[in-house]
Amino acid sequence: GWGSTYQGHPVALAVAYENIKYLLQNNVVGRVKGMAPLFEACMQQLANDHPCIKQYRSIGMFGCFDVQEMNGKNPKLQHEAAHEAFLKYKEAYLKQGLVGLHRYPHIHCAPPLNIKEEELIDGFQRLDRALYVLDEALGFETEDRPKAA
């Protein structure tokens, strides 16, 4: 067969070995299992609170929101340029001190797996404030809501 220098290279194997050792020694999988219900609850809460969120899905501590327009359709397809509403949202997201992957019309949530419970809650509270901007930018009613970030 054909191969490259990375296949079975001792350095790559050493890195993989150290990574697996860290995961096992620090019970990362167990921590994720323990934090997953809180993560799921936070995802559900944001989906319930923000009309711009059509649905969400999550597994462990990785999740994704699907954004919708007022008519229930996607505000953009993957190959299209970002809608102005997403640019306003991204600005608010960054102002909240968040860092993440933006592939509109999807909003990904993937915190570090060693995050503490209070940090996870704080991150979702920051995302909540940024999502109010997206709600407003897409034209959703924002009465009785906190002022957008």
Q: Decide if 107 contacts 76 (C-beta within 8 A).
A: no
Helix axes 28-49, 10-25, angle to 10 degrees: 80
* Cα 116 to Cα 71: distance, rounded to the nearest angstrom: 38
More confident residue, 146 or 122: 122
Percentage of the chain exceeding pLDDT 90: 71
What sign results for the dihedral spanned by CA atoms 47, 49, 52, 54?
Answer: positive
- The 10 Å Cβ neighbour count of residue 104 is 21
Per-residue model confidence as pLDDT tens digits over 102-135 = 888 999 999 999 999 999 999 999 999 999 999 9
